[in-house]
Amino acid sequence: MNTKTMLKTAEAEVRELVERWLEAVRVKDIDGIMSHYTADVLTFDIAPPLEYRGIDTYRKNWEGWLPTFRGPVGYEIRDLGITASDDIAFSHSLNHISGTRTDGEETDVWVRVTVCYRKVDGKWRIIHEHISVPFYMDGSDRAAIDLKP
Amino acid sequence: MNTKTMLKTAEAEVRELVERWLEAVRVKDIDGIMSHYTADVLTFDIAPPLEYRGIDTYRKNWEGWLPTFRGPVGYEIRDLGITASDDIAFSHSLNHISGTRTDGEETDVWVRVTVCYRKVDGKWRIIHEHISVPFYMDGSDRAAIDLKP
């Protein structure tokens, strides 16, 4: 393969990871989700703390979050941009999370997502993830959970 | 150079970019800051909108923000982790922004920062930036601007 073909393949491989991750999130398959992360993944998530270091604490976070949805998790990935070299890659997108929670609340929020990947033993894995919403600097310091792309 | 030496150099080059960027931010050198971004940089910033596309709108954002500090901008980068291949790279860190604003308010906040880079014509540039604080999901939806690492 020439370099161009190789990078195209790397991008396609990362895109496939994202699609498998997305499917696992929707059906709340915790093992499927976690299979895409390295053991030392560093995550900047929507809610505190500032950071999660390592897959064990991050898994607990997922285990707490997924059951708060009554049915499947509504999850859409928009404007996915992937940049890949042969062994590292990153992506950015706007993700839409929606669904009815067990307490009856309707969730409908757009978040910004940046993900960094590394190819480990021939398999792409997520080594860093950053998920957020901005906040209003109008004195309220309220999270901007009402924005739409 | 062998591959290991090359990657070490790439990481050192990205680190140098970060240091020059940091120095430019501290002294409010807007041209110095903007020289590190590509024309089509995509930014997920702390405040709305959800995203900035392109250097022109992002520059306006910096031009509005820098003069709100009475003196130099207090800016510290902690736990900087850089991953680099020969032509793309990414980094994550916890950044501390502090200082007195022109309205007398004291700013003292830790933000999570993820930056993605590409080597363009032999020079590393920022092509994507994600800066955020998490928010409290306790019903208040208040930005967690009081967290410390």
Q: Which string of DSSP letters, residue by residue, matches B71-135?
A: SSPEEEEEEEEEEE-SSEEEEEEEEEEEEEBTTSPEEEEEEEEEEEEEEETTEEEEEEEEEE--B
Q: How many CB atoms lie within 10 A of CB B68?
A: 14
Q: How confident is the model at residue B46 (pLDDT cuts 50, 70, 90)?
A: very high
Determine, yes or no, domain membership for A137: no
Largest CA distance in chain A: 56
Measure the CA–CA gap between A61 and A25, rounded to whole angstroms.
13
- Specify the pLDDT at position B1: 62
Rounded percentage of chain B residues whose pLDDT exceeds 70:
99
Quote the pLDDT of residue A5: 76
Instruction: Say yes or no: B30 contacts chain A, CB-CB below 8 A.
Output: no
| B122 in a structural domain | yes
Q: How far is B27 from chain A (nearest CA, A)?
A: 23
Average of pLDDT values for A84-89? 96
Specify if B65 maps to a domain: yes
B21 three-class SS:
helix
Residue B5 has pLDDT above 90, yes or no: no
Helix (H), strand (E) counts: chain A: 3, 6
How many Å apart are CA B24 and CA B31, to the nearest integer? 8
Whichever domain contains B27, its CATH number is 3.10.450.50
At residue A149 the predicted structure's pLDDT band, cuts being 50, 70 and 90, is very high
Residue B138 in domain: no
Is there a domain that residue B142 lies in? no
∠ CA A141-A147-A148, nearest 5°, is 170
Task: Provide the number of structural domains found in chain B.
Answer: 1
Please state, in angstroms and rounded to a whole number, the distance separating the CA atoms of residues B55 and B43.
Answer: 9
Domain enclosing residue A124, as ranges: 3-132
Cβ proximity of B50 and A136 under 8 Å: no
Angle at B131 between CA B128 and CA B134, to 5 degrees: 140
For residue B111, which amino acid is it? Answer: V
Among the partner-chain residues B48, B50, B127, the one whose CB lies closest to the CB of A136 is B48
Cα B39 to chain centroid distance, Å, stands at 16
ipTM score of complex: 0.95
Cβ distance B8 to B23 under 8 Å?
A: no
Distance from CA of B87 to the nearest CA of A (A): 7
Interface check for B104 against chain A (CB to CB < 8 A): the answer is no
Q: Do B118 and A83 touch (CB under 8 A)?
A: yes
B49 preceded by a cis bond (ω within 30 of 0): yes
Among chain A residues, CA nearest to B140: A142
Give the closest residue to B31 by CA, choosing from B23, B40, B43.
B23
The whole-angstrom separation of Cα A113 and Cα A111 is 6
Q: Is residue B144 part of a domain?
A: no
Closest residue of chain B to A45, computed from CA coordinates: B134
Instruction: Answer whether residue A139 is part of any domain.
Output: no
In a domain, A141, yes or no: no
